[in-house]
Chain A
Amino acid sequence: MIQGKVFKFGDDIDTDVIIPATYLNTHDAKELAKHCMEYTNPEFYGQVKQGDIMVAGRNFGCGSSREHAPIAIKGCGVSIVIAKSFARIFYRNAINIGLYIIECPEAVDGIKEGDEVSVDVDTGVITDLTTGKSYQGQAFPKFIQNIIECGGLINTIKQNKL
């Protein structure tokens, strides 16, 4: 079970905002994390704590294919991103590096900045502990769950389970 405090973001949060290209000269998670959301939310890195949750609108992670984007988010300690929808390359990258993500438009509308939220990734149930409301998110398809259970895409291949 995942649980943490919510940081909220809007629609079309792109990969240049998540991690500006000028910092792509490294792929060290801790280093990238320092610049995560730096241009639009400079206070984010200082405030986010291990296990916290990002909640965003439509098309989260649109733009470039840089895996540095989910790596930077994971590097900040974020446990899961809840969004109305994800850009497809970001979706793949997050799964492949082991960052949980879940789509649930109703939860995004209902949850407020600073709320304490828990997510059951097996069932897709998202609970706002601050308001007591629950939402049914889209749980991962079986194929994806297998990759996550194996610990990411590379481990899946190493275990001959792709």
Chain B
Amino acid sequence: MKLTMTQQILARKLGLDNSQAEQQLKAGSLILVDVDTALSNDVTAPVAVDVFNKSGCSLCNADCVTFVMDHFTPNRDIKTAELCKTVREFSKQHGVNNFFDVGEMGIEHALLPEKGIAKPWNVIIGADSHTCTYGALGTFSTGVGSTDIAAIMMSGKVWLKVPSAIKFNLKGKPSPYISGKDVILYIIGLIGVDGALYRSIEFDGEGVDYMSMDDRFTICNMAIECGAKNGIFPIDDKTNEYTKVSCNATFDALSCGDDEAYEKVIDIDLAAIKPIVSFPHLPSNTKFVEDVKEEIKVDQVIIGSCTNGRLSDLKSAAEVLKGRKVAKGVRTIIIPGTNKIYLQALKAGYIETFIQGGAIVSTPTCGPCLGGHMGILASGEVAVTTTNRNFIGRMGAKDSYIYLASPATAMASAIAGKLASAQQLED
């Protein structure tokens, strides 16, 4: 196979056979392709709706449009309430059924796979940079801006440049302390925040079998943090087990092309990865936690977001906390990604563990990840968080400090009151 997984999906979408695709879908080719799902949220949808309304065009296909009210919800202030109202009224007027408001919503990139809206072999375009998450399901998904979404609402299509690709060959068996978050932070540390600029990053190798669906979502979610257009995993038995539940269907297998289809092939030894942390102010400033010599005192811990708000993330945090308490003065905020995950965590006893351990549990929201609400940092404060960006001012004051880590490391840091891995807590 001389086509990358991204090219294979685009080829199927355009009705091209392999030899046609090799000619017409070379890296750098500009194509116009039908979109299965166009996603936007309470920040980006109002801009798209505004552009759409001014165009005077009619809605191409209401079933292709999905709106999730997750960034500033439950609403922070009057202005954000007005933004949601705009989208709510538009959905009613145009018969958009996939409109998810408080009660039905979750963090968009946790919600769409769970609802079966994101599925394998699809083209999903979202006005949110972390739309690349769905690549975990073997789908082509990428983030764009609001005007692109308005254009899809008008035409059902999007223009794309076929990306060149980097293959990550996952080798070896990861230690039990390692999660998908450690793997992707390790990769971003290795290649840098623009290491995959404009490219697709595709995952292959026997190590793929060790990556659960939740790990795959986390890894693809942060593809954008090394500049990638999309991240993508093969469609295998694990994918189909997941989609049997999410959309009551199974899908054709998808696997990586030969090495020649890729600009670069990089081997990643999963066995060599240890709990890892990104220092301020770039996700690529990574260090293994055990190599951090200075003491980093923590004011706040966030476990949640589209990166790490899934059930296995909460499980891993609860297992570290069980029988312990967070250190006095560390504000520990747990945010389940969706109501379904919240309920599953409740039934599994994780929520009780969190509350007894001195943490709080929030309704699903993007909230603090982008400095929106529900846990803003004051000047000089330090957060260890499972979110995806540690840019200047991302979670609040411009002189606050964000350290990115896995749920296990974040919870261990909450308990220790300083940056620590779960392993260090045991010692």
A-to-B contact residues, CB < 8 Å: 12, 14, 16-17, 20-22, 24-27, 39-40, 58-59, 62-68, 70, 85, 87-89, 92-93, 96-97, 141, 143, 152-154, 157-158, 162
Contact = CB atoms under 8 A, between A and B. Distances in A.
17 contacts: A12-B194, A17-B393, A25-B79, A63-B391, A65-B144, A66-B43, A67-B44, A67-B127, A87-B197, A89-B145, A92-B145, A96-B147, A96-B151, A143-B30, A162-B32, A162-B157, A162-B159
A154 to B, nearest CB: 5
Interface string B30-57: 1010000000000110110011001111
A89 B44 CA distance: 13
A154 B194 contact: no
Nearest to A141: B30
Given A25-B83, A154-B55, A67 B147 contact: yes
Contact of A63 (B83, B129, B144, B150): B129
B144 A16 contact: no
B55 to A, nearest CB: 5
Interface residues of B, number: 53
A27 B47 contact: yes
B372 interface: yes
A85 B57 contact: no
B392 A39 contact: yes
A55 B145 CA distance: 22
Contacts of B372: 21-22
Nearest to A39: B398
A92 B163 CA distance: 14
B258 to A, nearest CB: 26
A65 B391 contact: no
A162 B160 CA distance: 12
A16 B393 contact: yes
A64 B47 CA distance: 15
A100 to B, nearest CB: 15
B54 to A, nearest CB: 8
Contact of A17 (B72, B143, B391): B391
A65 B44 contact: yes
Interface of B: 30, 32, 43-44, 46-47, 50-51, 54-57, 71-72, 76-77, 79-80, 83, 126-129, 131, 143-148, 150-151, 154-155, 157, 159, 193-194, 197-198, 224, 227, 229, 282, 370-372, 389, 391-394, 398
A63 B129 CA distance: 7
B151 A62 contact: no
Contact of A25 (B80, B127, B144, B151): B80
A12 B193 contact: yes
Contact of B194 (A59, A68, A96, A141): A59
Contacts of A21: 43, 370-372, 394
A97 B282 contact: no
A62 B83 CA distance: 25
A154 B145 contact: no
A143 B43 CA distance: 29
Closest 8 CB pairs of A and B: A93-B145, A25-B79, A67-B145, A96-B147, A59-B194, A39-B398, A21-B370, A65-B129
A62 B282 CA distance: 11
Nearest to B154: A157
Contacts of A20: 371, 393
B194 A85 contact: yes
Contact of A153 (B83, B148, B229, B391): B148
Contacts of A25: 72, 76-77, 79-80, 83
Given A65-B127, A65-B143, A87-B197, 13 more contacts: A14-B389, A16-B394, A21-B43, A25-B83, A39-B392, A64-B128, A67-B44, A67-B127, A89-B145, A89-B224, A143-B30, A157-B55, A157-B57
Contacts of B79: 25-26
A27 B46 contact: yes
B119 to A, nearest CB: 22
Nearest to A16: B391
Contacts of B55: 154, 157-158
A88 B229 contact: yes
A88 to B, nearest CB: 5
Given A65-B144, A92-B145, A85 B30 contact: no
